[in-house]
Chains A and B, each alone.
Chain A
Amino acid sequence: MIATKSWLRLNLRKSRSMINSYRFLPRLSGLILGVALVFLSQASVHAADLKLEATLVWGTNDEKSPDASHKPVDTVYAKKLAKYFKWKNYFEVNRQTVTIPSRQSKRLTMSKQCVIEITELEGEPIEVKLYGEGKLLNKFTKALTKGEIVAIAGDDKNESAWFVMIKEIEPKAEEELARKAAGEK
């Protein structure tokens, strides 16, 4: 694991190709553009809107959560967290999906004490703000790469911990989520 602490302010503005005049291109330019778009769509993490899933996870050594509605977190998260953190069990407290329009923010109330605000910055970076009981505690900006999970976490009472896990929803995963949600109802 690599521990870092950085105070650099970096503005990762990337320009976007303007393709409004697509219709007016000669055929060769159109072919080049088509090829370019294939690469960009494969490589680029962010479309105009950013679809994210945020999950509040509670880490504890207790066998069960006192709240019966909390179920064990999914195996992907459980494996990642168990690999690096000391707690025996991880429970999903709240899960939300959100679509953030380009260069806008959305606020997610994960619990009464924990609110996060995510801003889609131009290009790959997102900004995540953590509010504890209404007060802004922490802010970080990071590029969200494909398949990456970004989390903000901290200690909770009784030697437990909380984690807010954020990841981008891929189109196929989105269909799977919708199927799961329909099954849960």
Chain B
Amino acid sequence: MATQPDYSKLADDELVKASQKGDMQAFEELVARHRDKLYARAYSMMRNENEATDLSQEAWVKGWQRLVQFQGDSSFVTWMTRITINLCLDQLRKQKRQRAESIEAMDEESGGVERQMPVVNINPSEGLERSELRKRIDRALDQLSYEHRTVLILHEFEELEYKEIAKRMECSIGTIMSRLFYARRKMASLLASLRKEELK
């Protein structure tokens, strides 16, 4: 009688091959290993736990359906992260149609807000625990509009090139550059002001 392999000991590529043959237990092991990362990416973009759970699960379902298309050009988790990002971008586009633009976003497009942002020395990591620093960054990210936050996430955390981001966000490279510039300067300003408040 054939014994079940210990899936927890198999490498990702072996699990992927088994999953491509229809082994759902192998796929479950992949889900268990990488679910946190996909959920975190979805949450960073959607800023809503329910939506992040929903979209990350949908990404796994699509991953299962499209497994035969995975050729190993990138790592499996990178491939799944791309699926997650695309689902989040689709959802954000749908929401954008239903939502009025924020004043901040409109101001950014005209360049008004940036004129008021002096260059700052952010260095907010002094004396801070990493977890506290991450929380501050998270709070600051929350204050960006979804366009700026998305560009920042795709560039800084996913390390996509301008061209790739422009393609995914369906806009020009110039727009991506402007948004990234604004987002970085805004984050620097927010993190510096958070630090100032701490020192008061």
Q: B-contacting residues of A (Cβ < 8 Å)?
A: 98, 106-109, 185
Contact = CB atoms under 8 A, between A and B. Distances in A.
A16 B54 CA distance: 27
A185 B100 contact: yes
Most chain A Cβ neighbours within 10 Å, of B49, B50, B100: B50
A106 B54 CA distance: 8
Interface residues of B, number: 5
Contacts of B54: 106-107
B20 to A, nearest CB: 26
Given A106-B54, A107-B54, A109-B50, 8 more contacts: A98-B50, A106-B50, A107-B49, A107-B50, A107-B53, A108-B50, A109-B49, A185-B100
A169 to B, nearest CB: 16
For chain A, what secondary structure do more than half of its interface residues adopt (helix, strand, loop), or is it mixed?
strand
Contacts of B50: 98, 106-109
A142 B35 CA distance: 32
Interface of B: 49-50, 53-54, 100
A107 B50 CA distance: 6
B58 to A, nearest CB: 10
A107 B100 CA distance: 26
Contacts of A106: 50, 54
11 contacts: A98-B50, A106-B50, A106-B54, A107-B49, A107-B50, A107-B53, A107-B54, A108-B50, A109-B49, A109-B50, A185-B100
Across chains A and B, which 5 residue pairs bring their CB atoms closest together, nearest first?
A109-B49, A107-B50, A107-B53, A109-B50, A108-B50
A98 B50 CA distance: 10
Contacts of B53: 107
A118 B112 CA distance: 45
A17 B49 CA distance: 37
A107 B53 CA distance: 8
Nearest to B54: A106
Contacts of B49: 107, 109
